[in-house]
Structure 1
Amino acid sequence: MMSAEKRKRTMSRIRSQSKLENRITKALWAEGYRFRKNVRTLMGSPDIAIQKYRVVIFIDSCFWHMCPTMATGRKAIRNSGTGSSGGTWSATGK
């Protein structure tokens, strides 16, 4: 048997990819975008980071499918001051 602390450490090391993540990365690569996956040096450890354009992408399947257990309390907030045609979005845990 593993202790709770050791199990948490072990499980946090598992890096799985969703079908949605695979589809997006293949499409980006086919379009010529080069990126890094799961960059731990960036805040939030984004799923995809395109460093050339300073863009990060977070892929949360439960968010898009409106999963009631994972999306509870999440709100998409548009950052102000970016104009109507552009901008960034973030998900908050509040």
Structure 2
Amino acid sequence: MGAIKNKDTKEEFCLAKALWKRCYRYRIHDKTVFGTHDLSFKKYKIAIFVDGKFFH
């Protein structure tokens, strides 16, 4: 599972778009934050991981 490098999925894009509409500013795949998260909010110290349909 660690070899799967899937980024910019449909689910991730929909979540990011919804958050942006609600004026939440985030970074996508930010290399300065530890881990392999999809979205991050440095100000609030929050990282969001979006698991797509592939893993379920």
Normalised to the residue count of structure 2, the TM-score between the two structures is 0.74
Amino acid paired to 2:14: R
Which runs of 5 or more residues in structure 2 are unaligned?
Answer: none
> After the TM superposition, which segments of 4 or more aligned residues of structure 1 sit over 6 Å from their partners?
none
Normalised to the residue count of structure 1, the TM-score between the two structures is 0.48
Give aligned-pair identity as a percent.
35
RMSD (Å) for aligned C-alpha atoms: 1.8
Q: State the partner residue of 2:16.
A: 25
Deviation digits for residues 40-90 of structure 1, max 9, x if unmatched? 222222110011211100112133xx1xxxxxxxxxxxxxxxxxxxxxxxx
Report the structure number with the largest CA radius of gyration.
1
Aligned positions, number: 51
Which runs of 5 or more residues in structure 1 are unaligned?
Answer: 1-11, 67-94
